Amino acid sequence: MATTPSSGSPGRIPRRPALPAREPQVVKKVVPRVIAYECCTGDGPPLHELLESEGYDLVACSEGEGLLEAAVERPADVVVYEFDPDRQGELGLLQLLRRVAPAVPLILLSCRGSLELQRLLQALRPAYYAIRPLDTDELREAVRSVLERRRSRAG
């Protein structure tokens, strides 16, 4: 008969100590962070109203300083930026945003459009560009699409 070294008794195999029970792993759902910068008081509802029902971690800004602080504080997954070509310093603010957060996708909405303006804005590499007013579903789909592309690139 075989004996085991630990027990000394023939034919008995010692039991392993029980493993501690595993806690179920909680998978945290990552909520995309969207910064909405709105400056126009033009046609249609405000940007934050169009996006808040989507369940994003939404930060609404109406001042350039607030936009830059939000972008630096915690990186956004997308910035939806309402561009007013008549507002002083708008293009400079966009360029500064690009320097602060170069990899963040940018959805640009303009209150008015022209070929010259479109060329200026294209230099900022927006993921999506439209002229307001635009359909609510179109904006929501643009944000979803940009977030999906970003997610697929990340992993």
Per-residue pLDDT of the chain (155 residues; tens, 9 = 90+): 544 455 555 667 777 777 677 776 665 677 899 999 987 656 667 788 888 888 899 999 988 889 999 999 988 999 999 888 777 788 899 899 999 999 999 999 887 777 788 888 888 889 998 887 778 899 999 999 999 998 888 76
Give the per-residue pLDDT at 88: 79
Q: Where are the beta strands (DSSP E) in the chain?
A: 33-37, 57-61, 78-83, 106-110, 128-131
Angle subtended at Cα 17 by Cα 16 and Cα 18, rounded to the nearest 5 degrees: 110
What would the CATH number be for the domain defined by 33-134? 3.40.50.2300
Q: Report whether 34 contacts 59 (CB < 8 A).
A: yes
Give the per-residue pLDDT at 26: 64
Q: Report whether 93 contacts 67 (CB < 8 A).
A: yes
Give the per-residue pLDDT at 150: 87
Give the per-residue pLDDT at 42: 60
Q: Using only the alpha carbons of the chain, give its radius of gyration.
A: 26
Q: Whole-angstrom Cα distance, residue 83 to residue 140?
A: 18
Question: 105 vs 77, 91, 124, 130, 143, CA distance in Å?
Answer: 7, 17, 10, 15, 10
Give the per-residue pLDDT at 154: 76
Say how many residues make up the chain: 155
Total-model pTM: 0.75
DSSP SS3 for 52: helix
Give the per-residue pLDDT at 113: 74
> Could you count the other beta carbons within 10 Å of the beta carbon of residue 56?
20
Give the per-residue pLDDT at 52: 83
